[in-house]
Structure 1
Amino acid sequence: MAFLTLKIDADTDRGTREGVPNLVRMLTKYQARATFLFSLGPDHTGWALKQVFRPGFFKKVSRTSVVEHYGLKTLMYGVLLPAPDIGKTCATYMQAVQAAGFECGIHTWDHRVWQDHVRQKDSAWTQATMQRSYDRFNSIFGVAPKTHGAAGWQMNPYAFKQLEAFNIAYSSDGRAMLTESGALADPLAGPHRLSVQGSTLTCIQLPTTLPTLDELLGRTIDGIELNPTNIAAHLLKLTATPRDHVFTLHAELEGQKLAPIFEQLLQGWRTQGYDLVAMEDYYQYVKNQVLPTLPLSWAELPGRSGDMIMQGEV
């Protein structure tokens, strides 16, 4: 049986309050496991407006209806409205996920700041920011975090070294390269270790191996424009041949307006014979395998603007 690991990023206050409980109910209905990764500090989603100068930003916004999915209020946080502290305002929602039996981990402190700036930051800033996330997670859940998944698939060498200091055994901070259709460009892509600044890290990386819904919606692939009525079928076509995958979804999307699509995917993956698991389950399966060690690399993916951490060719 092949594993399909479900990794859920909760980026915003609204996503944590509304999307996360919806996803818990849906996953429980289908007896699927998953890992929830939480943003633990301020919600500065409104600062995303600074991305208007990034190539491809307007194209992505027009395809994915950002206002519709995130809500106007969320897009004003940090601009016209004060940024709520998600770890304080949504702690009970996070604790409910833990109580329901799902794995919880760290996404970031401030999603917007991390995604936009971490690549240029120094060791002191990186360590201090990650320590705030670590301490906040501990205060909310009463245990140390076991896993991590970088916001926007953005890290720097100091951040990877900090995961080692935190004894994070497995993380999902990067992507596997995809073709225009969303298929894997390298059939050997998957779990690996990173070589950073001359050192091989012990933390096992579990890269996302499938395109996200917001990367596919509105794009024309093989002459077909992908929309809410056919996008699940397209993704299921990508997983028709069984192999291990990691799929990243968002509490703001699949937990809300795109929930019907995610339910189709859960049904389809069950039919295809996948074991729907959390990151901790997949880690237990691969931890004793001989995994490749690869250098830290960056690249763009179809449907998403800007470079992100990309698994090198195995």
Structure 2
Amino acid sequence: MARIALKIDVDTLRGTREGVPNLARMLERARARATFLFSLGPDHTGWALRRVFRPGFLKKVSRTSVVEHYGIKTLMYGVLLPGPDIGRRAASQMRAIRDAGFECGIHTWDHVLWHDNVRERDKDWTVDQMTASYRRYAEVFGAPPPTHGAAGWQMNPYAFEQIDTWGMLYASDGRGHGPYRPCIDGEPLRHIQMPTTLPTFDEVLGVDGIDESNIADRLLALTADDRDHVFTLHAELEGQKLAPSFERLLDGWRAQGHQLVAMADYHAALDPAQVPHAEIAWGEVPGRSGELIVQP
């Protein structure tokens, strides 16, 4: 039976408070496991408006109704409204997910700040950002985080090294086709990367006639084979307006015979001796603006 690891990126305060509980209910009904990756510091979603000049960004947001999914208030955080501290204001919702039996981990400290800057930043900046998220996670959950999934699939070599420093065994920080051990200048790191292998909802919506009514069918066509996958979803999308489409996808995966698992489950099924090595690389993914971490 093939596995599909469900990785849930939680970017905003609204997504944590509203989308996360909705997703938990859907997953429980489907008897599915998943990993929730939380943004733990300030919500500066409004800063993302600066990406308007990035090639492909306007085309993407026009397809995915950003205002409808995120809400006007969220889009004002960091612009006309102060960015709320997600880890302080939504700690109870985060712990409720842990208490319901779901795996939890780190997404980022400040989502937009990391996404738009980490590629060019130095070691001190990178470690400071990651340490802030680690400490807040420990404060919220009373335990160290087991895993990490980078905001926007944006990383740098220092960030990959920090995952080893923390002693994490696995993470999901990029896109690719299967598990691998990342290398920096030819030297393999200790942890295993389990990249997202499937397109996300926001990458395929509005492309080639795909809308909310048939997006589940598009994903199911990609998982008809008997191979493992990692699927990234977002609390702000599948946990809210796109929830009916995601429920259809869950039902379809069950009908295909897939086992819906958390990242920890997927990692436990791997044979480390069979995991290949690959250099850290950058590349483009259809439907997403800019470059991100990709598996060569």
TM-score, reference length from structure 1: 0.93
SS of residue matched to 1:294: strand
- 1:110-125 matches, cutoff 5 A: 110-125=110-125
Q: Which residue does the alignment assign to 1:78?
A: 78
Which among 226, 230, 234 is matched to residue 242 of structure 1?
226
SS of residue matched to 1:133: helix
Which among 283, 295, 309 is matched to residue 267 of structure 2?
283
Once residues 198 and 238 of structure 1 are traced to their aligned partners in structure 2, the CA distance between those partners, rounded to angstroms, is 32
Once residues 15 and 271 of structure 2 are traced to their aligned partners in structure 1, the CA distance between those partners, rounded to angstroms, is 32
Residue 193 (structure 1) aligned with residue 181 (structure 2): yes
Once residues 254 and 41 of structure 1 are traced to their aligned partners in structure 2, the CA distance between those partners, rounded to angstroms, is 22
> What amino acid is aligned across from residue 219 of structure 1 in structure 2?
V
Q: Which residue does the alignment assign to 2:171?
A: 171
Q: Do the aligned partners of residues 56 and 125 (structure 1) sit closer, same or farther apart at CA in structure 2, a change above 3 Å counting?
A: same
Which among 247, 252, 266 is matched to residue 263 of structure 1?
247
Which ranges in structure 2 are unaligned for 5 or more consecutive residues?
A: none
Once residues 175 and 291 of structure 2 are traced to their aligned partners in structure 1, the CA distance between those partners, rounded to angstroms, is 11
Q: Do the aligned partners of residues 48 and 227 (structure 1) sit closer, same or farther apart at CA in structure 2, a change above 3 Å counting?
A: same
Aligned-residue RMSD, C-alpha: 0.7
Contact 2:186 2:279 in 1 (8 A): no
Once residues 91 and 287 of structure 1 are traced to their aligned partners in structure 2, the CA distance between those partners, rounded to angstroms, is 35
Give per-residue Cα distances to partners, 1:222-269, cap 9 Å, x unaligned.
xxx101111111110111112100000000000000000110010000
Contact 2:185 2:279 in 1 (8 A): no
SS of residue matched to 1:298: strand
Amino-acid identity (%) = 64
Q: Which residue does the alignment assign to 1:229?
A: 213
Which among 182, 191, 195 is matched to residue 203 of structure 1?
191
> What amino acid is aligned across from residue 19 of structure 1 in structure 2?
G
Give per-residue Cα distances to partners, 1:169-228, cap 9 Å, x unaligned.
10000002xxxxxxxxxxxx20000111342101100000000000000011xxxx1011
SS of residue matched to 1:202: coil
Once residues 68 and 43 of structure 2 are traced to their aligned partners in structure 1, the CA distance between those partners, rounded to angstroms, is 18
Contact 2:174 2:196 in 1 (8 A): yes
Contact 1:157 1:197 in 2 (8 A): no
Contact 2:15 2:236 in 1 (8 A): yes
Q: Which residue does the alignment assign to 2:42?
A: 42
- 1:25-64 matches, cutoff 5 A: 25-64=25-64
> What amino acid is aligned across from residue 83 of structure 2 in structure 1?
A
Once residues 86 and 125 of structure 1 are traced to their aligned partners in structure 2, the CA distance between those partners, rounded to angstroms, is 21
Q: Do the aligned partners of residues 262 and 289 (structure 1) sit closer, same or farther apart at CA in structure 2, a change above 3 Å counting?
A: farther
Once residues 24 and 218 of structure 2 are traced to their aligned partners in structure 1, the CA distance between those partners, rounded to angstroms, is 24
Give per-residue Cα distances to partners, 1:272-303, cap 9 Å, x unaligned.
00000000000000143411100111111110
Once residues 31 and 171 of structure 1 are traced to their aligned partners in structure 2, the CA distance between those partners, rounded to angstroms, is 23
- 1:84-99 matches, cutoff 5 A: 84-99=84-99
SS of residue matched to 1:309: strand
Q: Which residue does the alignment assign to 1:67?
A: 67
Task: Using the TM superposition, give the Cα deviation of residue 14 of structure 1 relative to its aligned residue in structure 2, in angstroms.
Answer: 0.1
Once residues 272 and 180 of structure 2 are traced to their aligned partners in structure 1, the CA distance between those partners, rounded to angstroms, is 12
Give per-residue Cα distances to partners, 1:31-54, cap 9 Å, x unaligned.
100000000000000001100110
- 1:150-165 matches, cutoff 5 A: 150-165=150-165
TM-score, reference length from structure 2: 0.99
Once residues 82 and 121 of structure 2 are traced to their aligned partners in structure 1, the CA distance between those partners, rounded to angstroms, is 25
**How many residues are aligned here?**
296
